[in-house]
Structure 1
Amino acid sequence: MKKIIYIIISIIVCLSYSCSDMLDNIRPYLDEGETIYVGKLIPIAFPGKNRAMITGILLFGQNQVQCTIRWRNPATLEEEVRVLPIERHQGTELVQFLLENLEEGQYDFSIITQDAEGNTSIPTTTATYVYGEQYEATLVNRNIKSFFTESVLDEDGEWIWVAQINWIVSRGDGIVGCYIKYDLNDGGTEELFVPVSELTTELTNYKANGVWEYKTAYLPDELSLDTFYTQPVIANLPDYSF
């Protein structure tokens, strides 16, 4: 029994020393007094062309007055900071911060909110890739499988010439569609948008040997703020032929 009591006392003594050591480790923080944290932002980053938008939800409190966003410039690796105001109106609130004139590259954002007394939130993070000229230079126009002409009856029963474009199927490359502009037989021009899901496009009542052009639109990310475009392809429309 004495041996058991000795073991218990030894354990208590060891725990006492351990607790003292733990208190010594955190005493500087205890001496500073209570820490007040401001409600944090729960963020998500939207990419764009040399810009990004931080969108987030504020859930706790209504005392946030500003938001500090930090990141490293991917070109120089230098830290950059933006301090942006917050206006609170309700308990749960959606806020947006647009960051412009950004270099192309990967961004890891660290975000804190602050109240009027200088108290801050726990940092939150979000990341995205900002696109620019380097990405845009890699884009190519949607491929055409075939391009031919035919004469068809229109709604008024008159024969008109139609140029038919058959597109190659696009998969997973970010293409959302093409913008086409072409000369009409009556002297005007026609403009249309062809979604990527469309595999056949008809240019009705086109002008023989007139001019047509098209450019391809891309979204590099489903969350992208901006649409990117290829350089337009400009060519002559075919002659009428049976």
Structure 2
Amino acid sequence: MKNNILSRLFKQPRLLLLAMMTISLASCEKADKYKEFVKDGEISYIGKLDSVKVYSGKNRVMIKGMITSDPKIVECRVFWNNKKDSLVIPVTKEMIADTIHRFVNIATEGFQNFVIYTYDAAGNRSIPVNTSGRTYGSRYQAGLTNRDITAAKTDETTGITTVDWLGMDRLTGVFATDITYTKLNNQSATVRIPIDSSRIALKDFKYGSTINYKTLFLPDTISVDTFYSAVSTRQIVAPAFLKINVTNTYLKNAGGNFSRSSWDNSRWGLVADWTTSAGAKNVNNTYGSYEFRNGSGMISFEAGWGLPGITDALIYQTVSLPAGTYSFEANGLDQNAGGTRYIAVGAGSSLPLVANIPTAAIKYGILNPQPATATVKLEFTLTQTTQVSIGFAATMAANGYYTKIGNVRLYTIQNL
């Protein structure tokens, strides 16, 4: 086919001339267009911003990118809002081949498209880098709610204030709650509670004061700004008194599972760190204040079932206590009715004898109230530092009477 066309052209000189003129005119037209395009010189492209990433923020974004190793770059420009807004970032020699981070303030909330160019000193620019990011503002802020408190109280036995929190939907971006409170020394403190934690314990909270709290949000995983809910305030009512456990401060071998200083390798013994009077040693005149019972050591009074009765059986510890109000408690009690049994505190290095306790003791109570209870408490007050003997006393006939004590506790009582 091609050969036929050429043959016809050469046989018809006029057609050949016309074809040659057409080709020549087309070539000239292309050349003129090229000259017009490069009339100011050859096109000069420079390196573009590389590895660009846009991080969201509050009424702003952060743009991160690598300045390429092109030494001609002197400036970077970021355009948005259909190129109506822009930011100029001067580029120094020290920034070449390095990563830049720049914040771009944007009033409009929502998604934004960005076009980024780099320029040389002559105004030549790179090919465009197109990217996008998102800003958050008042509309997002208005939808944030504070985390709710389910309970807040000060424990009267420890002085520790606990605050319990409801959970929240993690899809909201919530990640923590900050609480600010007043400490016992009247100084302010702020602590952060992760959203996965449902309770916080404040050991130094000023009783009866308030906490202020706000919840923290990140709207997405690449946000550079944290958003906060409005601040809420919660009054935490102080208890009427504090009951602080000081057992380990003043008493030894307080149970459960009392240890023994000696025993018969079977059941009976002497409880360690406690004074056992002769009247309490009714097991072969040797043992009697300790019993190994159901796999655990207990303080014990027992009369009957083959054991003689006990008279002025005293089991106590002698300690020095500062001025204050105290509660001495016997717990895990197993006992029946009969005889005379006291829980008591007396001044000096010994408990009074059983008959003298009602008149000589600083304070006393019935050890075996009826009906029987698992705990018996004795509250007493000292006006100055005092040496006291604190414990138990009993006189019981051999009629199958007994008292077993699982543990003891000593508390200070502080009125608030």
Aligned to 2:55: 46
Deviation per residue, 1:2-29 (Å, 9 max, x gap)? x5744899xxx9xx97xx59x8496353
Stretches (4+) displaced over 6 A? none
The CA distance in 1 between the partners of 2:65 and 2:118, in whole Å, is: 11
Query: RCO greater where, 1 or 2, for CA within 8 Å and sep 6 or more?
Result: 1
Taking a change above 3 Å as real, the CA distance of residues 207 and 136 of structure 1, as seen in their structure-2 partners, is same
Give me the CA root mean square deviation: 3.3
- Residue deviations 1:40-77, cap 9 Å, x none? 012222222222222111224121101121111xxxx7
**Larger radius of gyration between Structure 1 and Structure 2:** 2
Distance, in Å, in 1 between the alignment partners of 2:203 and 2:105 is 42
Q: Which residue of 2 aligns with 1:156?
A: none
For 2:45, which of 29, 37, 40 is the aligned residue? 37
Distance of 1:188 and 1:204 partners within structure 2: 14
TM-score w.r.t. length of structure 2: 0.47
The superposition leaves residues 124-180 of structure 1 with CA deviations (integer Å, 9 ceiling, x where unpaired) of: 022111122222121111234x21436377xxxxx3232231331542221121110
Please say if 1:147 is aligned against 2:151.
yes
Code of the residue aligned with 1:107 in structure 2: it is Q
Q: In 1, Cα distance between the equivalents of 2:237 and 2:198?
A: 20
Residue number among 134, 137, 141 corresponding to 1:132 in the alignment = 137
Task: Please show how residues 44-123 of structure 1 align to structure 2 within 5 Å.
Answer: 44-72=53-81, 79-89=84-94, 92-100=97-105, 102-123=107-128
* Shift of residue 188, structure 1, vs aligned partner: 3.8
Instruction: Provide the C-alpha distance between the structure 2 equivalents of 1:79 and 1:51, rounded to a whole number of angstroms.
Output: 16
Kindly, what percent of the aligned residue pairs are identical? Answer: 27
Question: Which shows bigger deviation, 133-142 or 95-104?
Answer: 95-104
For the Cα contact (< 8 Å) 2:106–2:135, is it kept in 1? no
Q: Return closer, same or farther for 1:38/1:167 CA change in 2, 3 Å cut-off.
A: same
In structure 2, give the amino acid aligned to 1:62.
P
Offset at residue 95 of structure 1 (A): 1.8
Contact map agreement 2:160 2:201 (CA 8 A) in 1:
no
TM-score for the superposition, normalised by structure 1: 0.77
1:199 aligns with 2:162: no
- C-alpha distance in 1, partners of 2:186/2:138? 36
Cα distance per residue 1:175-203 (max 9 Å; x no partner): 12111012334544432111223232223
CA distance 1:160–1:116, change in 2 (3 Å): same
The more displaced of 98-107 and 174-183 is 98-107
Structure 1 gap ranges (5+): 154-158
Would the alpha carbon gap of residues 91 and 129 (structure 1) be closer, same or farther in structure 2, given more than 3 Å must change? closer
Q: Would the aligned equivalents of 1:109 and 1:127 in 2 still touch at CA under 8 Å?
A: yes
